[in-house]
Structure 1
Amino acid sequence: MASDLESQSPWKGGVGDFSERSIRFAFIRKVYVILGLQLLITTSIVLTLSYVNAAREYLGEHMWVFWTSFGISIVLIIVLVCIPNLRRTVPANYICLFAFTLAESFLVGSIASLYAPDAVCMAIGICAAVCLALTLFAFNTKFDFTLWGGFLYVFLVIVVIFGLFSAVFYTSYSEFRILNLVYASLGALVFSLYLVFDTQLMLGGKHKYSLNPEEYVFAALNLYLDIINLFILILLLVGGGRR
């Protein structure tokens, strides 16, 4: 991961500056095109699995869809993260990313099918608004979040451990609802910060660290996972209409 980050000095004038800005702009545009296609695929599958009763019933009776999607997602994300040459090689990187997106879409769709369709739509709308606001904030703030990667990782580990202990040791339904609310709120906060962090890594420029422009698949993957995790946690918060 460290090899994927490069120190950024302040932009300077001249032809080199124009060339570097052009490369970074093309990189950002490519990342958002890929991310947009990923989110379009995921949203379509999630809404289909939420609104089509036959699909909801099938998922409820066949848990293999969830576990297969989960297994494929884990394998592909390990491959994409741990093999830099693969994620930089066309078309292997696009094939792996597309396969991961499909697996993750069915995984998220399986979770969303447990909730009322209106709760799913509300979560999608809230998530879209939050992500837009956070992206605009990341583009315009002078605060450099790329320096806080280690702290964000620690916060993420704390939230995960808290979630595991909450699931194991809760004693009543009312206690579970409270713990679920706290867990989802903390998780949503952490992934909101991660979205700002990963957006600034992509932007480069004045930020201390940035992604190599060749890492467009890795950048899209980071942002996609931030948004998906944020959506799931928002769904936990608004999913009072659970089946």
Structure 2
Amino acid sequence: MHAYASVSTADDVKVGDIDIESGERLYPGIGHGENQLRWGFIRKVYGILAAQILVTTAVTAATVLYVPINDLLRENSGFLLFLVFNRHLICMTVLWPLHIYRQKHPLNLVFLGLFTASMSLTVGVSCANTEGRLVLEALILTSAVVSALTGYTFWAAKKGKDFSFLGPILFTSLFILILTGFIQMVYPLGSTSVAVYSAISAIIFSGYIVYDTENLIKRFTYDEYIWASVTLYLDVLNLFLTILRMLKQDN
């Protein structure tokens, strides 16, 4: 389970030359009936993901563009710092019950809504003291990267490529990344170290988009649509926040 979490668009449902609404074979050896069921599952997951991203985009836009909310957050710097530095703790706290009840309807939808709302708030707070121009640039870059990586993964799966080997590598890298983030709160890194940290973070979350998209295509069971959307949502959010951090570092 990885718990890190950005903003993309519903256009991610159709990427590259592969239309996930079609009946194309997802990967070699899959049966026709299984292929149709898997396409339906993928459409369901991307529908939930699009709804999550729309909520996050709306909350982020409100914190950045709506002056009363922006001023309120600026005036409560303690609350702002708490949310920024405890984002991972908040994520894990809400993610735990969601993981337990992920296959129990309607509790899974209730906890999914709470999880999306809490993550949207932390993302919005992270953007509250950021220029709208930088947030828009991060949004565009994230959408482009997510679309390209998703399209590549669908294409690679169709060609028989396998990315399961990335699992242990990405998990270990993410653990080190989180540990470094906690150390950074006590012993702040220099500007060069922060830039390197952000670049490595972007690579790791890009890898997770490829890995989790392949899991969506091949490995998630049909009743794990909530958990599949959550993993992709976290990948996209964290990539967005990483890109945003890199853009802020350059300004």
Q: TM-score range by the shorter chain?
A: 0.7 to 0.9
2:155 is aligned with 1:140? yes
2:240 is aligned with 1:231? yes
Residue aligning to 1:6: none
**How far did 1:117 drift?**
1.1
| Higher deviation after alignment, 158-167 or 213-222 | 158-167
User: 1:65 touches 1:106 (CA, 8 Å); kept in 2?
Assistant: no
Residue aligning to 2:193: 179
Residue aligning to 1:122: 137
Residue aligning to 2:7: none
> CA 1:90/1:166 → structure 2, altered by over 3 Å: closer, same or farther?
closer
Residue aligning to 2:204: 190
Structure 2 counterpart SS, 1:239: helix
User: 1:166 touches 1:179 (CA, 8 Å); kept in 2?
Assistant: no
**What amino acid is the match of 1:111?**
S
Matches within 5 A, 1:47-66: 47-62=61-76, 63-64=78-79
**How far did 1:138 drift?**
0.9
**How far did 1:181 drift?**
0.8
Tell me, in whole angstroms, the C-alpha distance in 2 between the residues paired with 1:236 and 1:27.
Answer: 34
Tell me, in whole angstroms, the C-alpha distance in 2 between the residues paired with 1:241 and 1:112.
Answer: 16
2:104 is aligned with 1:89? yes
**What TM-score comes out, normalization by structure 2 length?**
0.80
Tell me, in whole angstroms, the C-alpha distance in 2 between the residues paired with 1:43 and 1:235.
Answer: 14
Structure 2 segments unaligned to the other structure (5+ residues): 2-26
Structure 2 counterpart SS, 1:154: helix
Residue aligning to 1:157: 175
User: 1:145 touches 1:197 (CA, 8 Å); kept in 2?
Assistant: yes
User: 1:45 touches 1:109 (CA, 8 Å); kept in 2?
Assistant: yes
2:90 is aligned with 1:76? no
Structure 1 segments unaligned to the other structure (5+ residues): 2-8, 205-209
Count matched residues: 219
Tell me, in whole angstroms, the C-alpha distance in 1 between the residues paired with 2:36 and 2:229.
Answer: 19
Superposition CA RMSD, Å = 2.3
Matches within 5 A, 1:208-219: 210-219=219-228
User: 2:195 touches 2:246 (CA, 8 Å); kept in 1?
Assistant: yes
User: 1:188 touches 1:233 (CA, 8 Å); kept in 2?
Assistant: yes
**How far did 1:162 drift?**
3.2
Runs of 4+ in 1 over 4 A off after TM superposition: 65-72
**CA offsets, 1:11-37, max 9 Å, x none?**
25xxxx222112111110000000000
Tell me, in whole angstroms, the C-alpha distance in 2 between the residues paired with 1:187 and 1:227.
Answer: 12
**What TM-score comes out, normalization by structure 1 length?**
0.82
**How far did 1:166 drift?**
4.3
| Higher deviation after alignment, 227-236 or 57-66 | 57-66
Tell me, in whole angstroms, the C-alpha distance in 1 between the residues paired with 2:233 and 2:242.
Answer: 14
**CA offsets, 1:132-190, max 9 Å, x none?**
011011111243112321111111122233334445434xxxx6221111111100100
Percentage identity across aligned positions? 31
